[in-house]
Amino acid sequence: MNDQTVPALSTFAERLRAGRFVLTAEIAPPVSCDAQDLRRKAALLKGLADAVNVTDGASARAHMGALAAASILLGMGIEPILQITCRDKNRIALQGEMMGAAALGIRNLLLLTGDDPKAGDQPDTKPVFDIDSKTLIETARRLRDEATLPTGSKVAGKASFFLGAADVPIDPPAGWQPNALAAKVKAGAQFVQTQFCMDAAIVRRYVGALERAGLTRQLAILIGITPLRSAKSAAWMKRHLYGTIIPDALVERLEKAADPAHDGVHICVDLIAELSRIPGVAGVHIMAPGNDAAIPDVIRAVRGRS
């Protein structure tokens, strides 16, 4: 992990620095103006996940604002990871949002490019993309470490951020270098949460390549996984979610299963156990689009094995 220490570390950061294998989860805030709808959804993860991501217009669809949702989680005693994307706001608005997050006591940020609006349900939406995710990470690092904006203007108060980035695991070919991820680390990223990768052998080779590039010493790597509901949903994810890796053998297993959703939870739990033994893997990030209720079952099963 990055040796740059931020004051008043989040519990999530402390657990990573202590070498604990962490379990983070993800929820999409509801399409709702009622905070209770979010609280009901998030309550199932309280005391289970080490931190909970709140998405920022995931799949280019509107929902309760991520900053408000993260603040509600914080009030519930759930440590949030606030996702901020470059898609919807220019640099001025993004800088203001990060200052607002710091003022609310939100410490964990996952800084992303954002999904193309054409993939969402309002395809005529005008994307912003004023800056890219690497630049946003650098802006957050500067806000934290130097208390300045990119203009050089001083910022009052303290932004005790723990900064995250996203990456897409691959089965690295000979000579492959993780240049994009290395650039995000140089910009200030301290942890990474990846796209779905349900293949431990590929994770081992991918993380091995990151280790050879020196990144595992600077970065906590959390592998994205999912409790698959069915062979149909697995096939859909492979087709439609960029970078998703789900072995054909898993799809075939789910096709033959008497209770595919139950089997999907067991597959996920077994995979977490396998990933926890791979050097350089600091934890997993559990996502379950349309299947949120399965995430607590996975985490309870994993905790029960500890």
89 vs 119, which has greater pLDDT? 89
- Sequence letter at residue 118: K
Q: Is residue 5 part of a domain?
A: no
We report the CATH number of the domain holding residue 43 as: 3.20.20.220
User: Would you state the pLDDT for residue 85?
Assistant: 97
> Which residues face 245 on adjacent strands?
197
Mean pLDDT for 213-234 is: 96
Q: Is residue 3 part of a domain?
A: no
**Residue 10 pLDDT grade (very low, low, confident, very high; cuts 50, 70, 90):** confident
Q: Is residue 18 part of a domain?
A: yes
Q: Is residue 1 part of a domain?
A: no
C-alpha separations of 93 from 98, 99, 143, 150, 187 in Å:
9, 10, 14, 13, 20
User: Would you state the pLDDT for residue 9?
Assistant: 56
Q: Is residue 118 part of a domain?
A: yes
Q: Say if residue 211's pLDDT is above 80.
A: yes
Q: Say if residue 4's pLDDT is above 70.
A: no
User: Would you state the pLDDT for residue 100?
Assistant: 98
Q: Is residue 6 part of a domain?
A: no
**Residue 3 pLDDT grade (very low, low, confident, very high; cuts 50, 70, 90):** very low
Percent of the chain residues past pLDDT 90, beyond the cut: 91
Mean pLDDT for 4-27 is: 82
* CB 254, CB 270: distance < 8 Å: no
Q: How many domains does the chain have?
A: 1
Q: What is the pLDDT of residues 43-75, one digit of tens each?
A: 999 999 999 999 998 888 999 999 999 999 999
Give the burial string for 42-81 (b: 16+ CB within 10 Å, else e). bebbeebbbbbbbbbbbebeebbebbebbbbbbebebbbb
In terms of Cα–Cα distance, which of 171, 174, 177 is closest to 197?
A: 171
In terms of Cα–Cα distance, which of 179, 183, 212, 224 is closest to 280?
A: 212
Cβ neighbours of residue 18 under 8 Å, at least 6 residues apart?
none
Task: Reduce the DSSP state of residue 24 to 3 states and report it.
Answer: strand
DSSP type of residue 6: P
User: Would you state the pLDDT for residue 236?
Assistant: 92
Tokens standing for residue 254: 């789910």
Give the domain range for residue 179: 11-305
Q: Is residue 22 part of a domain?
A: yes
Quote the CA–CA distance of 121 and 133 in Å, as a whole number.
23
305 vs 302, which has greater pLDDT? 302
Number of Cβ atoms within 10 Å of the Cβ of 18: 8
Q: Say if residue 7's pLDDT is above 80.
A: no
Q: Is residue 260 part of a domain?
A: yes
- Measured at the CA of 25, the angle between CA 243 and CA 282, to 5 degrees, comes to 75
Q: What is the pLDDT of residues 161-199, one digit of tens each?
A: 999 999 999 999 999 999 999 999 999 999 999 999 999
Q: Say if residue 204's pLDDT is above 60.
A: yes
Q: Output Rg (C-alpha) for the chain, integer angstroms.
A: 19
H/E segment holding residue 195: strand 191-196
